[in-house]
Amino acid sequence: MKEIRVELDERSYGISIGSGILERIGEKFRKYEFSPKTALVSNPTVFGLYGEAVVNSLRSEGYDVSTILIPPDGEEYKDFLWAYHILSELLKVGLDRKSAILALGGGVIGDITGFAASTYMRGIAYMQLPTTLLAQVDSSVGGKTGVNHYLGKNMIGTFYQPRLVWIDVDTLKTLPKKEFLAGMAEVIKYGVIWDGEFFDYLRTERERILALDPECLAHIIGRSCEIKADVVSRDEREEGLRAILNYGHTIGHAIETVTGYRRYLHGEAVAIGMVYEAELSESLGFLEKGKAAEIKDLIDSYGLPVSADLLILRRCLRQWR
């Protein structure tokens, strides 16, 4: 099992990456001495695949586990009403200030669960059990929690670090290909913003990565988490450096918002954003000539979109003028 640390003084925590580790979460959870009542937040898709393993593991260690499912599955449900629903369920089942909750799912579940944890009784502990590539390499690490508002994505939220990120790479075996590729957009992001060698690795090992070669998966998830942990440890609250992680997201979020979160997956919108932001940077003289084309080619080679309709771009401009 690979272990990475996010160094944030008393809020430091570990990221554990391994194969078949979901069923060992109970054993790990026990070490934290939380209250006996706990809750697992998930959605029916992910819970149907992995919920039983997690619940059984926690119950076998003596925990009283409630499950809270967010029935509709999708970005448009990462909102205040579903966060309120989670908070209501936590109150009903009687979690106390020493309880912890667990998020089992992709970035939607992770973000909304973290947000609920940060506000329940002024903040209780939570753990991330990410099951999409995007959540494993990005959203589960770093403590950005939140929900969307109709006026903008992730506009309501907190910085609130999890106590543990527990990544079972085997969960990627059931992830739809389109979702896997969307996660690759965030992986490519790290190659562009931080590590040229990693960028080259993504180019040369593309076929093995797309075939879900376990060694390659462990490498891309591990390296992405190392980079994210490094950035977050230096600038937790995005006062400077951390903004680098938003590469592709300014345009990406605008595209998601004007298309009602339905046309593109988050990672796909970020892929388009990365291409446009690289081209803009090159045309302004910040990025070396030819680099934007290299970035676009790599994104394209993973089957991700590299442009959006003019109509969508016009709507983005109109909204933010």
98 catalytic residue (yes or no): no
Q: How far apart are CA 41 and CA 58, in angstroms?
A: 14
CA atoms within 13 A on the CB side of 197: 3
What are the beta bridge partners of residue 140?
none
Residue 246 interacts with which of ligand NAD, ligand GLY, none, CB < 5 to 8 Å by class: ligand GLY
Does 175 bind ligand NAD (CB under 6 A)? Our answer is yes
Residue 242 interacts with which of ligand NAD, ligand GLY, none, CB < 5 to 8 Å by class: ligand GLY
Q: Which residue of the chain is nearest ligand NAD when measured via CB?
A: 107
Instruction: Give the torsion sign (CA, 167, 148, 276, 289).
Output: negative
Of 46, 245, 254, 258, the one binding ligand GLY (CB under 6 A) is 245
What are the beta bridge partners of residue 101?
39, 126
Q: Which residue of the chain is nearest ligand GLY when measured via CB?
A: 245
Tell me which residues in 126-145 interact with ligand GLY (CB under 6 A): 138, 142, 144
Instruction: With beta carbons less than 8 A apart as the criterion, state whether 34 and 102 touch.
Output: no
Name the token pair of 4.
């990475």
228 catalytic residue (yes or no): yes
DSSP 8-state class, residue 160: -
Does 157 bind ligand GLY (CB under 6 A)? Our answer is no
Q: Which is nearer to ligand GLY, 110 or 142 (CB)?
A: 142
- Collapsing DSSP states into helix, strand and coil, what is residue 42? strand
State the minimum distance, in angstroms, from the CB of residue 138 to ligand GLY: 5
149 catalytic residue (yes or no): no
What are the beta bridge partners of residue 126?
101
Name the token pair of 141.
């690490």
Task: Pick the stretch among 12-20, 153-161, 202-210, 239-247 that binds ligand GLY (CB under 6 A).
Answer: 239-247
85 catalytic residue (yes or no): no
Instruction: With beta carbons less than 8 A apart as the criterion, state whether 221 and 229 touch.
Output: no
Q: How far apart are CA 45 and CA 66, in angstroms?
A: 17
State the minimum distance, in angstroms, from the CB of residue 234 to ligand GLY: 12
Binding interface with ligand NAD (CB under 6 A): 43, 45-46, 49, 73, 75, 78, 105-109, 111, 131-132, 134-135, 138-139, 142, 144, 154, 171, 174-175, 179, 182, 266-267
